[in-house]
């Protein structure tokens, strides 16, 4: 009960300060797309980080829901920020690559990430999606290997002679 109370209080505070971070993010994504320039790069990044933080906190405190659509909201916000920072990168490319990479990192399912991303974005972005998926899968694998190596190193008893 205390965990749910903490989650609800956090949700209320975050929602009061940043109303776009409320709910799953499906309806709010269209507002991001329509008003990206007015929102600005810094606020788009803040919205993405806060959405991911709020989702993690709420799931940890027992609230019902999932993390795929909030992750998509964050990816759209980050893709829009990239497009505003680097106007030469097309919006569809920026959003598709962040979505695909984040989905692989979160779900460890490259095929699902490819199919899901390509249902949401233009099919012409398929090469970018493929590159983002490959890089994300490689980086995720390297990170998992490094973590496993550290765990194994910590588990080994010290064999040094003094």
Residue with tokens 């409320």: 22
Look at residue 50 and tell me whether its pLDDT is greater than 70.
yes
Query: Is the pLDDT reported for residue 84 higher than 80?
Result: yes
* pLDDT confidence tier of residue 46, bands split at 50, 70 and 90: very high
Report the predicted TM-score, pTM, of the whole model to 2 decimal places. Answer: 0.81
Mean pLDDT of the chain: 88
Q: Is 63 helix (H, G, I), strand (E, B) or coil?
A: coil
Q: Rounded mean pLDDT of 86-92?
A: 92
Q: Can you tell me the distance from the alpha carbon of 130 to that of 98, in angstroms, rounded to the nearest whole number?
A: 12
State residue 6's pLDDT score: 87
> Is 90 exceeded by the pLDDT of residue 104?
yes
Domain boundaries, the chain: 13-89, 91-152
- Residue with the two structure tokens 């949401």: 120
Q: What percent of the chain has pLDDT over 90?
A: 43
Task: State phi, psi for 24 to the nearest 5 degrees.
Answer: -75, -25
Dihedral angle computed from the Cα positions of residues 119, 122, 127 and 132, in that order, rounded to the nearest 10 degrees? -60
Q: What is the mean pLDDT of residues 82-102?
A: 93
Contacts of 79 (CB under 8 A, 6+ apart): 91, 94, 95, 96, 97, 98, 99
Mean pLDDT score, 49-62 = 88
């Amino acid at each position: 009960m205390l965990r749910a109370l903490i989650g609800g209080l956090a949700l209320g505070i975050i929602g009061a300060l940043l109303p776009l971070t409320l709910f799953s993010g499906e309806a709010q994504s269209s507002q991001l797309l329509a008003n990206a320039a007015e929102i600005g790069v810094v606020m788009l990044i803040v919205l993405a980080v806060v959405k991911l933080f709020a989702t993690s906190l709420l799931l940890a405190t027992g609230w019902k829901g999932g993390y795929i659509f909030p992750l998509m909201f964050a990816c759209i916000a980050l893709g829009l920020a990239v497009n505003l920072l680097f106007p030469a990168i097309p919006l569809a490319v920026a959003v598709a690559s962040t979505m695909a990479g984040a989905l692989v990192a979160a779900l460890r399912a490259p095929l699902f990430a490819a199919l899901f991303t390509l249902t949401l974005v233009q099919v012409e972005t398929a090469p970018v999606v493929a590159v983002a998926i490959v890089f994300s899968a490689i980086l995720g694998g390297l990170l998992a290997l490094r973590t496993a190596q550290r765990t194994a190193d910590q588990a080994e008893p010290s064999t040094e002679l003094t």
